[in-house]
C-alpha cells in the first residue's frame, strides 16, 4: 500500500497504540496492558507506519496457540480510516499468522460494527458463534459479539520487518 509500511511493534510504538486504542474502543487498554499482552506466549503485534513520518497509523495485536491465531485487537487512527490501512494491516496479520504455521484465524467483533465486519467478510471470514451482551458500552448499553474465522493457507510472503 503506497505510503505505508508494516513492521513489528517496538517499545516506542506502545504509547501511540494506546492512544489509538482509546480513540477506537470503549474499554481502554493502557500502554502497560498492551506491553503485558505482548509478553503472553504466542503474542505479537504489527503496526502500519506512515512511510514519511514513521508515525503509527494503526496496529494489530495477535496471539497464536498451536495452529490457531486470534486477532486480539485491530485499530486505525480515526483520521486515517477508510483509506486502506485497516485492510493492509489485516492482510499483513493473516500473512504473519500463516507463515508462523497457523491454519485458522479467528476474532470477536461487535455485531453492530458494520465497518469491521465488512472488512473481515471481504477477507473471507465467516460468522460463527454469537455471544449476547458481550460488550459493555460507555453509555451503559451492551452489544453482542460474533466470532468470525477463516482458514489460512501458508503463503510465501515477506514477513513485516
Ligand X SMILES: CC(C)(COP(=O)(O)OP(=O)(O)OC[C@H]1O[C@@H](n2cnc3c(N)ncnc32)[C@H](O)[C@@H]1OP(=O)(O)O)[C@@H](O)C(=O)NCCC(=O)NCCS
Contacting ligand X (CB under 6 A), which of 18, 109, 125, 145?
A: 109
Q: Number of C-alpha atoms within 13 angstroms, CB side, residue 40? A: 15
Q: Which is nearer to ligand X, 101 or 122 (CB)?
A: 122
Do residues 103 and 152 make contact, with C-beta atoms less than 8 angstroms apart? yes
In this chain, which residue has its C-beta nearest to ligand X?
86
Distances (CA, A) of 94 to 9, 55, 68, 78, 119: 16, 22, 11, 22, 13
Q: For residue 42, state whether it binds ligand X (rule: CB under 6 A).
A: no
Name residues whose C-beta falls within 8 Å of residue 129's C-beta, 6 or more positions apart in sequence.
Answer: 146, 147
Q: For residue 16, state whether it binds ligand X (rule: CB under 6 A).
A: no
Q: For residue 83, state whether it binds ligand X (rule: CB under 6 A).
A: yes
Collapsed DSSP state (helix, strand, coil) of residue 61: strand
The nearest distance, CB 83 to ligand X, in angstroms, is: 5
The nearest distance, CB 21 to ligand X, in angstroms, is: 8
Collapsed DSSP state (helix, strand, coil) of residue 25: coil
- DSSP letter assigned to residue 11: G
Q: For residue 24, state whether it binds ligand X (rule: CB under 6 A).
A: yes
Contacting ligand X (CB under 6 A), which of 36, 118, 130, 131?
A: 118
Do residues 49 and 55 make contact, with C-beta atoms less than 8 angstroms apart? yes
Contacting ligand X (CB under 6 A), which of 45, 86, 92, 160?
A: 86
Strand runs labelled E in 66-159? 68-76, 104-110, 126-136, 142-151
Q: For residue 115, state whether it binds ligand X (rule: CB under 6 A).
A: yes
Q: Which is nearer to ligand X, 18 or 74 (CB)?
A: 74
**Could you list the residues that contact ligand X (CB under 6 A)?**
24, 74-76, 81-87, 107, 109, 113, 115-116, 118-119, 122
Amino acid at each position: 500500500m503506497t505510503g505505508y509500511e508494516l513492521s513489528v511493534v517496538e517499545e516506542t510504538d506502545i504509547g501511540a497504540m494506546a492512544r489509538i486504542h482509546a480513540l477506537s474502543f470503549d474499554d481502554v487498554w493502557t500502554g502497560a496492558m498492551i506491553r503485558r499482552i505482548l509478553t503472553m506466549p504466542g503474542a505479537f503485534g504489527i503496526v502500519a507506519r506512515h512511510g514519511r513520518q514513521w508515525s503509527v497509523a494503526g496496529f494489530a495485536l495477535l496471539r497464536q496457540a498451536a495452529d490457531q491465531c486470534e486477532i486480539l485487537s485491530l485499530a486505525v487512527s480515526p483520521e486515517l480510516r477508510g483509506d486502506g490501512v485497516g485492510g493492509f494491516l489485516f492482510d499483513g496479520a493473516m500473512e504473519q499468522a500463516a507463515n508462523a504455521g497457523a491454519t485458522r484465524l479467528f476474532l470477536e467483533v461487535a455485531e453492530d460494527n458494520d465497518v469491521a465486519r465488512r472488512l473481515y467478510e471481504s477477507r473471507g471470514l465467516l460468522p460463527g458463534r454469537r455471544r449476547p451482551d458481550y460488550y459493555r458500552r460507555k453509555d451503559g448499553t451492551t452489544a453482542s459479539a460474533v466470532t468470525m474465522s477463516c482458514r489460512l493457507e501458508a503463503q510465501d510472503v515477506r514477513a513485516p520487518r
